[in-house]
Amino acid sequence: MNFRKAIAALACVATSTASLACKPSDLEHEIALRQNSAALENEQIRELVAWHTLWQARKSGATQGIGEIGIFANAVKGNSTSNVLARQRIDNVTRLIKTGDENPAPIHWAVFPLKAGSPLVTATIDQVTVVVQPACVKTNSCCPEPLKGPQR
């Protein structure tokens, strides 16, 4: 499956009506990196590790822990330097998430090419977004009780 299809599938599951009815909070973690740098600063590492650790700890709760992880970055379309930097940023975040995790959730990643000079490039080119899909989404068990259809 190519990356766009994987991301589309992850997005569809994450926004299904069942998951929106009882959507767990704190599904995303954004990291703003220094311009032209793939390195995370110590505080960013601590925040990412703390966020991921909290999600790992939820295995016994209603969310059943992490089902899948998505890591996304933007690059300037047609700019190989920008694309390589985005990929290095994703690789660094992936390594941090896998560190100390005996059984990591499947990780999907993508670099989105954006048109040079667009406002979106200016706003997001130095960001990496990490998204978790709780395991409960696959089993439709995120809510205290399964969602029921209309009563007759």
What pTM was computed for the model?
0.77
Q: What is the pLDDT of residues 59-77, one digit of tens each?
A: 777 668 888 999 999 999 9
Residue 18 has pLDDT above 60, yes or no: no
Per the listing, tokens 């977004």 go with: 129
Whether residue 31 contacts residue 128, with contact meaning beta carbons closer than 8 Å, is answered with yes
- Mean pLDDT in residue range 73-83: 95
Whether residue 69 contacts residue 130, with contact meaning beta carbons closer than 8 Å, is answered with yes
Tell the CATH topology of 3-139: 60s Ribosomal Protein L30; Chain: A; (3.30.1330)
Q: 3 or 129: whose pLDDT is higher?
A: 129
Q: Find, among 139, 99, 129, the residue nearest to 19 by Cα.
A: 139
Whether residue 133 contacts residue 14, with contact meaning beta carbons closer than 8 Å, is answered with yes
Distance in angstroms (rounded) separating the CA atoms of residues 85 and 125: 10
pLDDT of residue 145: 52
| Residue-range domain boundaries for the chain | 3-139
For residue 52 the two structure tokens come to: 């991921």
